[in-house]
Every structure is written in structure tokens, then in C-alpha cells.
């Protein structure tokens, strides 16, 4: 059975369009509740980011879970990695996050975590989808789930984040700009860095339900770059709407992406004797990261796009460190999922312990020119089933003559086809990517949206 609703990061859609409606989320809550109840997982945590539709979907989920006989504990606005931690410490059966991560406010999504703080398995997601196909039935009134609010969730998570650094660490003397994307970290992230002694400048910390990720956060670092230069900060930290992505800016205003941050943390772990096994990236990771990691004498392996697949490869091999170019970084020796605040703290720890700037720390990795073009399509498309597209793909690979690579894939969270070309000659890279993207757009009646390094 293939999944109809679950993608690489839960279920996501445009609010009110297609299937993503309050009625669907109500039944999703019931379906998830039925599956969890059968496994004896009676208590579920629910948190959300700051988008306006979160209120509506929180109520719908609560009703559906209650109808299935599952008790609910409501956390309010909280980062996604926060619920991964709290499901463990509060001994919950599962955690549910209402968030569309880096997407605009008009989208929303549902993410599930197991009681151990990890993304649900494919088997459980399929079981929930099977329940969605059944008529909804409410348990007897005496068995309905109850709901309560957890009032100290943010404080618990702040203390956890601080605990992932050495007990003697002080960020005193560091000037940090924190961009919270008007999202779920707005009341958490600044406190973490402030309580560790840093001088903190806050931006994008006034969510109004509509401004999440709007010209701010990890997908739009320009505002952070400008602020770092204006205040003369040592470093800038940009999180996304739900706090599981991290992009940083050095004191020169230069962006440091997920690949470079992963390299810095890997080298730090190796320096302190904490590294275990290989580093895991994805098929989108820059070839320069692979080269830099191998130059440290460490192994490097690629997983499919999606932090759940990075996590899966880490767990299968007993390794501790992996991530994506977008800034999903998993430090399994610190937590169970991608966590932007925790990842930032690992980089800051290395800066303090070595006395090096972020600009200096990233110098060991040289990125290959990489060009990405997004093509918007009407819905799901079968790239492998199109002879024309596959022929264009082979032609693109041949044009690089073994001095680069091509990645053509559909997005797991948006109706997009991503065309990525990487190589030593940027002009050839751009030309090759453009021709392949045009062919994809022509074949699937799509629209070329954007391009960039």
C-alpha cells in the first residue's frame, strides 16, 4: 500500500484546499487515535506553530483524538523538536505538531512523533491512512479522551536545550542576532542564548498568525545578514517556522548553510573524541561537504531527501551525526530529531572552545557551485515514467562529462519538481539545469518558479 497523504515530513497542504480541511484533520485525529489506542498509547501531546490556522486544527485534532478515547495534553506554540523532547520526558504515547515548517502561513501540516521522540514509522503512517478510509465512530461517552494544558512546556524545553552544551559553557562576550521567523521559537530561542550569557538581538519575534516565514527565517536570511552587520554581531542564527532548521550568518554577513554547519559540528566531534561512525547527508548535499568530511578521515553516506531518512540511516548504523543542506541537522548524541537551537549551540560551543570565528570554522569546506531550479506542477508526477524527461536527464549528465552530478526529484512537501545540477563550471551548471527544467515544465505543463545557488 502506498501513502496517499503522508509525505517525507508528515501531512501538509494549503488550508481549505483539496483535502486539508478541518473535517479532514478531525478524522485524522480520530484515525491516529484509533491506531495509538490499539497500541496502548493513551496519552498524546499536541503543539503548534504560530500560523493562524493552528487554532482551528488544534481543536479539530483534539476532538478527533477524544472521539477515539485518547487523552490529550495541549502545549500551545512550541518548536517541533520541543515536542520530540517532551514526549519522552512527559512519558506520552505520541506527539503531534501542527505546522507547515518553512511554508507560508496559508499552508499547514501535521507531524507525528512516537513516544520515544522519533518520527512515526512508515508502518504506523500506513495504519493511520487505513483508518482514514473507515467510517468514523465515537467511543462510549465514559471512554472519551480528556484534555488539559501543560503550562511549563517552554521552560522545560529551554532547560533541555541548555543541557546539550558543556555545563561550564558561557556565551558571555558573544553578540548574537536571533531570527525566529515569527514562528514557534519566538518565546524560546532568545531565552536559551540569553541565559547562557550572550548579548542577544531579536528579530522576527512578533507573530501575528500571518507573518510566519515572511521575509525572515532560515529561508530568507537577507534580513539577518543586514542586522548582523548593522549591530556588529559575532554571529546570526536563523530558524524556520517550527524550529527544526538552522541557517547561520558569520560576522561578515556571509550565509553558512546546513552543509557547512554539519562539517563544523563533525570536525568538533572529532576534535573532542566524541565522533562515532560516518556522517550522513542527502542526495542534495553539496559534493564539497562529502570531500571535506572524507578529508577528515571520516566516512560520508547519502540518504534520500528528508530528515527521517537521514535519521533512519544513522540509527541503522549506530552513528550520531547527519543533516541536510536546508539546515535540518541531527545530533543523535544530544537529541532524537533535527533541532535548530541545539545545532546552533553545538556550533557556538566549538567557537567558544577554539576561539575561532564562524567564518574561520567553515574554511575547511569548499562548496561546489550548485544550481537549483524549482518547477511547479499541478500534482504528483511520475518522473521515472516519462521517456522524454529521462532522455533529457541522461543528456544533462553527459554534458557534465563526469565533473558534476544531476539530481531530479519531486518535493515531498510541495507540488514541485526540483532540478539540481552541481559541478565545477558554474556556467555549464546553469545551462544544463535550465535546459532540464524547461523540459520538465514542457512535459508536465509546469511553471519554472525560481533558480538559485
Q: Which residues are the active-site residues?
A: 101
Strands (E), 300-361: 300-303, 321-323, 329-331
Q: What is the DSSP string of 380-408?
A: ---STT-HHHHHHHHHHHHHTTTSEEEEE
**For residues 83 and 89, what is the distance between their CA atoms, to the nearest angstrom?**
10
Question: 221, 245 in Cβ contact below 8 A?
Answer: no
Question: 367, 259 in Cβ contact below 8 A?
Answer: yes
What is the four-CA torsion angle of 343, 345, 346, 349, rounded to 10 degrees?
A: 170
C-alpha angle 4-376-378 in degrees, rounded to nearest 5: 50
**How far apart are the two ends of the chain, measured CA to CA in Å?**
37
Question: 110, 103 in Cβ contact below 8 A?
Answer: no
H/E element, 436: helix 426-443
Helices 22-38, 122-132: axis angle to 10 degrees equals: 120
Q: CA 24 → CA 54, 344, 358, 442, distances in Å?
A: 14, 36, 45, 34
Task: Name beta bridge partners: 12.
Answer: 109
Question: 32, 96 in Cβ contact below 8 A?
Answer: yes
Where does residue 147 fall: left (phi above 0), alpha (psi -120 to 50 degrees), or beta otherwise?
beta
**For residues 446 and 439, what is the distance between their CA atoms, to the nearest angstrom?**
10
**For residues 225 and 5, what is the distance between their CA atoms, to the nearest angstrom?**
37
Reading the block at residue 6, the C-alpha cell is 503522508
- DSSP code for 245: -
Q: Which residues of 387-413 are buried (b: 16+ CB within 10 A; e: fewer)?
A: eebeebbeebbebbeeebbbbbebbbb
Amino acid at each position: 500500500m502506498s501513502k496517499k497523504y503522508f509525505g517525507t515530513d508528515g501531512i501538509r497542504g494549503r488550508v481549505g484546499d483539496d483535502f486539508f480541511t478541518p473535517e479532514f484533520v478531525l478524522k485524522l485525529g480520530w484515525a491516529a487515535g484509533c491506531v495509538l489506542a490499539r497500541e496502548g498509547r493513551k496519552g498524546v501531546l499536541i503543539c503548534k506553530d504560530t500560523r493562524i490556522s493552528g487554532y482551528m486544527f488544534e481543536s479539530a485534532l483534539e476532538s478527533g483524538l477524544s472521539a477515539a478515547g485518547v487523552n490529550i495534553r495541549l502545549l500551545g506554540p512550541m518548536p517541533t523538536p520541543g515536542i520530540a523532547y517532551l514526549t519522552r520526558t512527559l512519558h506520552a504515547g505520541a506527539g503531534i505538531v501542527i505546522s507547515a515548517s518553512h511554508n507560508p502561513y496559508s499552508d499547514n501540516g501535521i507531524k507525528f512523533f512516537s513516544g520515544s521522540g522519533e518520527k512515526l514509522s512508515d508502518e504506523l503512517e500506513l495504519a493511520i491512512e487505513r483508518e482514514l478510509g473507515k467510517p468514523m465512530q465515537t467511543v462510549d461517552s465514559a471512554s472519551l479522551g480528556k484534555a488539559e494544558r501543560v503550562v511549563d512546556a517552554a521552560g522545560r524545553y529551554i532547560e533541555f536545550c541548555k543541557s546539550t552544551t558543556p555545563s561550564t559553557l558561557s556565551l558571555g562576550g558573544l553578540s548574537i542576532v536571533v531570527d525566529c521567523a515569527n514562528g514557534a521559537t519566538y518565546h524560546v530561542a532568545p531565552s536559551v542564548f540569553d541565559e547562557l550569557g550572550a548579548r542577544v538581538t531579536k528579530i522576527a519575534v512578533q507573530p501575528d498568525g500571518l507573518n510566519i516565514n515572511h521575509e525572515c527565517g532560515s529561508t530568507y536570511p537577507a534580513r539577518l545578514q543586514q542586522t548582523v552587520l548593522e549591530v556588529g554581531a559575532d554571529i546570526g542564527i536563523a530558524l524556520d517556522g517550527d524550529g527544526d532548521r538552522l541557517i547561520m550568518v558569520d560576522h561578515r554577513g556571509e550565509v553558512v548553510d546546513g552543509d557547512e554547519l554539519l562539517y563544523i559540528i563533525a570536525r568538533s566531534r572529532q576534535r573532542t573524541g566524541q565522533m562515532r561512525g560516518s556522517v550522513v547527508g542527502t542526495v542534495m548535499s553539496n559534493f564539497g561537504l562529502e570531500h571535506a568530511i572524507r578529508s577528515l578521515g571520516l566516512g560520508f553516506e547519502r540518504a534520500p531527501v528528508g530528515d527521517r531518512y537521514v535519521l533512519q540511516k544513522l540509527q541503522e548504523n549506530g552513528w550520531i551525526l547527519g543533516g541536510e543542506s536546508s539546515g535540518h541537522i541531527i545530533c543523535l548524541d544530544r537529541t532524537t530529531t533535527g533541532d535548530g537551537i541545539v545545532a546552533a549551540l553545538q556550533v557556538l560551543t566549538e567557537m567558544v572552545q577554539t576561539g575561532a570565528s564562524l567564518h574561520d570554522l567553515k574554511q575547511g569546506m569548499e562548496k561546489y557551485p550548485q544550481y537549483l531550479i524549482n518547477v511547479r506542477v499541478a500534482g504528483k508526477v511520475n518522473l521515472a515514467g516519462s521517456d522524454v524527461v529521462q532522455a533529457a536527464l541522461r543528456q544533462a549528465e553527459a554534458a557534465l562529462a563526469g565533473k558534476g552530478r544531476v539530481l531530479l526529484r519531486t518535493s515531498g512537501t510541495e507540488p514541485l519538481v526540483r532540478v539540481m545540477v552541481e559541478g565545477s563550471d558554474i556556467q555549464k551548471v546553469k545551462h544544463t539545469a535550465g535546459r532540464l527544467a524547461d523540459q520538465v515544465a514542457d512535459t508536465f505543463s509546469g511553471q519554472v518558479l525560481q533558480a538559485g545557488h
